[in-house]
Amino acid sequence: MKVVSAVKVGNMKDPDPGRRGKVAVLDRPCPPLGDEDIKVKVAYCAICGSDPHVVGGIFGWEPPFGLGHEISGVVAELGPKATRRGFKVGDRVGGNFRRYCGTCYYCRNGQEQFCENVSEEPGMAEYLIWHESQLVKLPDDVSLKKGCLLEPVSIGVRVMDKTGMLIGRRVAVSGAGPIGLINLQLIKMFGATSLTMIEPNPQRRELARKFGADFLIDPSSQDVEREGMGITGGLGYDLVIEASGAPKAAEAAIKVMANAGRLLYMAMYPNDYEMPLNLYAHCYKKEIEITGSFVAPYAFPRAAQIMSRMDLDDFTDTVYDIDDPEGAFEAHLGGRHSKVIIRCNKDLD
């Protein structure tokens, strides 16, 4: 079967990202089907903002290795004991690319995101084999093309779990990539006020306006602190969701916080970046709570329930076939598209 993989073209630690690695289609056998596993014929797999970082060597993995985790597809085959969730051949599904063991300390402590025995099977392929616990049926009114966004919507649901949101709180979202825009839509449902998007790209700012932002700040031409404080009458934001992954944006976010506000860093930042933080000014004097978000434990079933209420059309209009992963990744890195999706099987739609 065809699998989109990172392949080595040079030293993966080369400071020039262009020489660290690239993507290509490799032919690999499908993994064996376990008793509780399900074979899925993959319809679509969206490119995540983390995928180029993975290709570039952020985790130090030695290529070749498979890519992709934002998938949708159709159940093709069930293991003999994969019966507890009610799946049947032909069901339209999305799911969680991480398989948790369910028995380690963290899984038993309600913290499966830290599972000590987690495993992952990439989804940018014609077929994948996942454990039945990883899959979720897609609602009838959610297409397979939109269904591959179940994972990023799940990330948004997880962020909502961590916000402690109350109706009427002043909220800013930093970064209008797909995750930031999904979070913007979700936090709007929670009754956010002074809802502000901080984003330098004008096209993405307009998408934020379309999705419900009350105010827009361009950090490339405006002072984020001055603008944010002006919007909130000098009080600052009760909640800031930093979704850009940019160190400059990470540092700007804390400057617009309200007293006792919550700052949620939920993007993938450079793994050697250390942010300066004035503990007296921000944590002692203002009592700001700073937290983060790692993957999306316990969020996928609820994300499936909310999918039909999300505006996802703008994330599904750029599609490449699995035979052209280089073109798809180039389009993603070019920044002109809000999202790029790979079609893994042409006969599924």
Residue 161 near residue 193, CB atoms below 8 Å: no
Amino acid at 194: S
Q: What is the predicted pLDDT for the residue at 349?
A: 75
Residue 293, classed as helix, strand or coil, is coil
pTM (predicted TM-score):
0.93
Please indicate whether the domains covering 2-149+312-343 and 156-292 agree at the CATH topology level: no
Helical segments of the chain, H only = 50-55, 105-108, 144-147, 150-163, 178-189, 202-210, 224-231, 247-253, 300-306, 325-334
CATH code assigned to 156-292: 3.40.50.720
Give the residue from 3, 25, 225 showing the smallest Cα distance to 129. Answer: 3
Residue 185, classed as helix, strand or coil, is helix
Q: What is the predicted pLDDT for the residue at 21?
A: 66
Q: What is the predicted pLDDT for the residue at 6?
A: 85
Spell out the per-residue pLDDT of the chain, length 349, in tens.
Answer: 999 988 855 544 455 554 456 899 999 999 999 999 999 999 999 999 889 888 887 777 888 889 999 999 999 999 999 988 899 999 999 999 999 999 999 999 999 999 999 999 999 999 999 999 999 999 999 999 999 999 999 999 999 999 999 999 999 999 999 999 999 999 999 999 999 999 999 999 999 999 999 999 999 999 999 999 999 999 999 999 999 999 999 999 999 999 999 999 999 898 889 999 999 999 999 999 999 999 999 999 999 999 999 999 999 999 999 999 999 999 999 888 999 999 999 999 7
Rg from Cα positions in the chain? 20
What is the CATH T-level fold of the domain 2-149+312-343, as seen in this structure? Quinone Oxidoreductase; Chain A, domain 1 (3.90.180)
Domain range annotation of the chain = 2-149+312-343, 156-292
Report helix, strand and coil shares of the chain as percent, to nearest 5: 30, 25, 45
Amino acid at 106: Y
Tokens of 40: 């899925």
